[in-house]
Structure 1
């Protein structure tokens, strides 16, 4: 007999998903702080436009951070919560002292590329585990971020 989590998932798969979601959480936390820094430090002719866009972006990232942590808890796992852990476990690197709008947007695009790839990996694991809750969350994030990445790519003229 398989050991099941509180929500009826195989315990080993729930642990695997918790680990992968914690990896995603680390990336989101570093991504969030980078965009916060972009918002505070942006300069140049597109200041007003990008300042507002960066605020919209970090507000969205903060919401997702909370949803990911709560999903980890729902799976019976513990969300990581130390910045030292986030820095260590994140593929997205901390960015310092960036104030050029194009450089900020390019970094955001790179970060979306990372989160979308990780979310697709989680989607495969959650699908195999029969975890519809995580599936729905990742599918929604992917759909939204693919559109945002397209728009930012268009903004960059690519």
Structure 2
């Protein structure tokens, strides 16, 4: 059996450390990408989730007022009702959370940065849907500028939603 020299052990250790660092960096990048993707997914579905949450707020109030004895126990189980209510409450809570973060982002913008917020708002928040081209025409910029502004807004929102966790990747 061959003995490992000190130099060989040093090389093996340094290589293992480098591989571990590379693996950690890759995991951080994937986590960052997943978070950005999740923010974009939330924004893309924001209007539908808002409509849904407004509707289910009324449903939740109704269910809270309805006695369990008045429900048809042969078609609906208590567990399924509780599960539905839990899911609906999560939806309402998530929309309230996102609304708070969007408002925080707007407040954090200086006069120059408001253009990023405005593009985000027109693309995802306002009741009326706007395409990138329509936004570009309304604010008198190129369509690629709209995409750039939107990316900047999502990055800014990423920090507001995830806090210091969002910044650790950038160090």
Fold-level similarity (TM above 0.5): no
Q: State the structure with bigger RCO (CA 8 A, min sep 6), 1 or 2.
A: 1
Using structure 1 for the length normalisation, give the TM-score.
0.31
Larger Rg: 2
Q: Which has the higher helix share?
A: 2
